[in-house]
A and B are shown apart, each in its own frame.
Chain A
Amino acid sequence: MRARIVVRLRSGVLDPQGATIRKALEGLGFPEVRDLRVGKLMELTLDESDRARAQARLEEMCRRLLANPVVEDYSCEVLDGGEPTARS
């Protein structure tokens, strides 16, 4: 089962990296970018076939380690349910 977790800075938290990247884009000729914030994407492969259980475990992973609740929010989703897909 595959899952995707996105961790983002909470709104209001200063993101100097995002501001710098936005400025770099502006310098490259993209002045229309008003705001840019950088987050983290994690892609997981789970040995789990129960969708609901996978979702609950993902949430727990986020709470316990993957996101820092002081400054980060997270979203997690199971991408395909049921039997694990064959490796490509």
Chain B
Amino acid sequence: MRFGVVIFPGTWSDMDFHHVISEVLHQPVEYLWHRDTDLSRFDCLILPGGFSYGDYLRAGAIAGRSPVVAALTDFAARGGLVLGSCNGFQILCEAGLLPGTLMRNECLQFRCQPTHVVVDQTETPFTRGLRRGQVLKMPIAHGEGRYHAETNALRTLRETNRIVFRYATETGEVTSAANPNGSVWNIAGVCNEEGTVVGLMPHPERAAEPGVGSTDGLLLFQSLLGSLVENGSVLGR
């Protein structure tokens, strides 16, 4: 599977993703600059974490309007897979590829800590290899991770089964104590209607090797690669 890792000015998790994809998963991976618009050679694009454009105006606001993100919209519409982590999730929301927005953490602290999320749906290529209710441990590092969406949008997300990850305890209970940033319904990650674009605040690329505290992040990628192998195409592409 051919991966592309997008870099905006201020992105910083690009190397972590590139390392995991190339050295741990042994998949072809390239960096893309935010002005690149030819995405035809990729199967999956990653929007990594960081502080694109210094989080100026709003986190992800300026990056969400760059040429590569406009091209990404077409890419996703044609069935291309997109994973946005942290700032990447913020960018996907700002670009309108995912509903809602990420706001300042309710506690007003920058939270840099391991978290547990429970897998709420297993229809996306990133979660098809997982079990509903499975708990993943991945770190977060953000000051603006509070997921917010209007009531109607939230209802739609729930009814169309598009909430993918929710902050939870180690045993998978969704509690307010397990919610590091005040996200509504403990939402840690959502997907688009087709399940081909997933955004999450935690960092799977920082939980992909022994010695860093968890390898649960790798499961998302293994699920993705397993989806490809299983039926020869990903969601009918």
Contact = CB atoms under 8 A, between A and B. Distances in A.
Interface of A: 13-14, 16-17, 20, 64-66, 68, 70-71
Interface bin, chain B:
20 to 34
Given A13-B148, A16-B106, A20-B108, A71 B101 contact: yes
Nearest to A42: B57
A71 B62 CA distance: 17
B182 A70 contact: no
Chain A interface mostly = helix
Interface in B25-65: 57-58, 61-62, 65
Contacts of A65: 57, 61-62, 65
A16 B104 contact: yes
Chain B interface mostly = loop
B148 A70 contact: yes
A67 to B, nearest CB: 9
A42 B103 CA distance: 20
B112 interface: no
Contacts of B57: 65-66
A16 B148 contact: no
Contacts of B108: 16-17, 20
A70 B100 contact: yes
B41 to A, nearest CB: 30
Report, nearest first, the 6 A-B pairs whose CB atoms are least far apart.
Answer: A70-B101, A16-B106, A16-B108, A71-B101, A68-B101, A68-B58
B103 A71 contact: yes
A71 B58 CA distance: 11
